[in-house]
């Protein structure tokens, strides 16, 4: 999967990301959402950084890694970010624990399948987070990351939708 993604140029990844998130913006789940759990993208993931400014009318939440868990924090602006675990930018500030307020969650992954199962990076952070979420969960990926069927265990929780470009 990593090789497939690596075959995409940076320009292709940016263009596909823009198209993917344009599609999400047209979805009713996005248009009615107030609180959105997003992610700070790595170079091989659909590029999310531009959305943080474009979606400033939403209340954006980003993950931060603390030990073996994801802690959610409110994103305010780029000045309230620091380099965290795995060299990923993370918001600073108090933890956001009102999961019931979340209307929409966008989740990256190495791969997704038609049933919403995801292949992550192996640390299980989203596997531990997904059971806590009651909101709409959408997996986001490039088309080359999409598979008809991925292996999964009985405890794996699929996302409710997958959007790819």
Looking at the chain, the whole-number percentage of residues with pLDDT higher than 90 is 88
What average pLDDT is seen over the chain?
95
Give the pTM: 0.95
pLDDT at 34 exceeding the cut of 90: yes
Burial call 111-132: b when 16+ CB within 10 Å, e when fewer: bbbeebbbbeeeeebbeebbee
CATH code given to domain 2-164: 3.40.50.10420
pLDDT in tens, 101-119: 999 999 999 999 999 999 9
pLDDT at 122 exceeding the cut of 90: no
Residue 44 tokens read as: 């091989």
Longest dimension (CA), the chain: 41
pLDDT at 26 exceeding the cut of 90: yes
Which pLDDT score, from 0 to 100, does residue 68 have? 86
User: pLDDT class for 90, splitting at 50, 70, 90?
Assistant: very high
Which pLDDT score, from 0 to 100, does residue 22 have? 97
Which pLDDT score, from 0 to 100, does residue 155 have? 87
Which pLDDT score, from 0 to 100, does residue 85 have? 84
Range 93-106 average pLDDT: 96
Delimit the domains of the chain by residue range. Answer: 2-164
Phi/psi at 138 (5° precision): -125, 125
**Cα three-residue angle 89-87-30, rounded to 5 degrees:** 35
Looking at the chain, the whole-number percentage of residues with pLDDT higher than 70 is 100
User: pLDDT class for 3, splitting at 50, 70, 90?
Assistant: very high
């Amino acid at each position: 999967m990593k090789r497939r993604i690596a075959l995409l140029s940076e320009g292709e990844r940016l263009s596909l990301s823009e198209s993917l998130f344009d599609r999400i913006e047209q979805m009713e789940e996005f248009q009615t959402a107030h609180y959105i759990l997003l992610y700070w993208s790595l170079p091989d993931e659909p590029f999310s950084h531009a959305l943080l400014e474009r979606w400033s009318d939403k209340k954006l939440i980003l993950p931060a890694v603390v030990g073996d868990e994801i802690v959610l924090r409110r994103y305010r602006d780029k000045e309230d970010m620091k380099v965290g675990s795995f060299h990923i930018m993370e918001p600073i500030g108090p933890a956001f624990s009102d999961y019931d307020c979340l209307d929409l969650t966008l989740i990256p992954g190495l791969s997704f399948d038609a049933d919403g199962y995801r292949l992550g990076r192996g640390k299980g952070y989203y596997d531990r987070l997904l059971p806590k979420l009651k909101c709409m969960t959408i997996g986001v990926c490039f088309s080359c990351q999409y598979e008809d069927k991925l292996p999964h265990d009985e405890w794996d929780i699929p996302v409710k939708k997958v959007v790819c470009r």
